[in-house]
Structure 1
């Protein structure tokens, strides 16, 4: 069966005894390796090598823990040291407002998720 969507949920107090519960499933292909990784704070101002393109760093990075496909830079979901939690959601588009050129390498939605965590 081909995955068609991903679902994200949050449970807030008073429905939780302590804190917040965040959950997410993934619509990634069956058999694709998902890794859980930790990246500490970095002071580097070097450009960031995302999945397909490089972008400028926005300053020192925050520490993050991520769940991500092993082959890409971006993240399916994660949390940073400030308590920000994000889950990627698929957006299906035909690029009907863009340049219609699928050969141009761009940032992925999951790259944006990870970039937000770091900066």
Structure 2
């Protein structure tokens, strides 16, 4: 089998020319999985009693969501990566650790990417959104179409001023603020 990788990186000033932020991601999703690039406009949600349907479970809705551009596998609600109208970018990676991976349906890491983008106008707020949802609803369920594949997630979250790496395992998490240039790489074979 050919080796593959799933990589996300960020470069922040002063490591960049012109004080720019550079954010990028590639994916190791299945070669025949349809990836969509979609735009979801900002929205006001007046009926907060109505729950939001994610890939497997429903979560509480919020009064307002931001406009997002997402790259996502067509079969699920969440996203592999994306950006919102405030310049927040998030990408996720599969991670494995000592915790057993939950096959019970909960939020997928890709659901958390989309929820973080729709609900936060800074990288730090997106981190807080993801952590709060992770602690409330957990993560788990099948992450692939047509085969059994489950994992926990790491997230690289950036905006115009800062970036964060968020590592998760079940409902456990740890975050570190990025200084300069950083990446998260996941390799397999």
Q: Which structure 1 segments of 5+ residues have no match?
A: none
- C-alpha offsets along residues 51-94 of structure 1, whole Å, 9 cap, x if unaligned? 01111112211111111111100110111111111101112257
How far apart, CA to CA, are the structure 2 residues paired with 1:74 and 1:59?
Answer: 19
Q: How does 1:91-110 map to 2 (within 5 A)?
A: 91-93=95-97, 95-96=99-100, 102=103, 104-110=104-110
Partner of 2:59: 55
Q: CA deviation at 1:2?
A: 6.5
Give the TM-score normalised by the residue count of structure 2.
Answer: 0.55
> Are 1:28 and 2:59 counterparts?
no
CA contact (8 A) 1:38 1:64 kept: yes
Alignment RMSD, CA only? 2.1
Distance 2:106 2:97 in 1: 14
CA distance in 2, matches of 1:41, 1:47: 17
Describe the shift of the 1:40–1:84 C-alpha distance in structure 2 as closer, same or farther (beyond 3 A): same
Give the alignment's TM-score, normalised by structure 1.
0.83
Which structure shows the higher helix fraction? 2
1:11 positional shift: 2.4
Q: 1:64 to 1:3 in 2, by over 3 A?
A: farther
Number of residues of Structure 1 aligned to a counterpart in Structure 2:
115
Deviations 1:30-62 (A, max 9, x none): 111111111001112331110011111122111
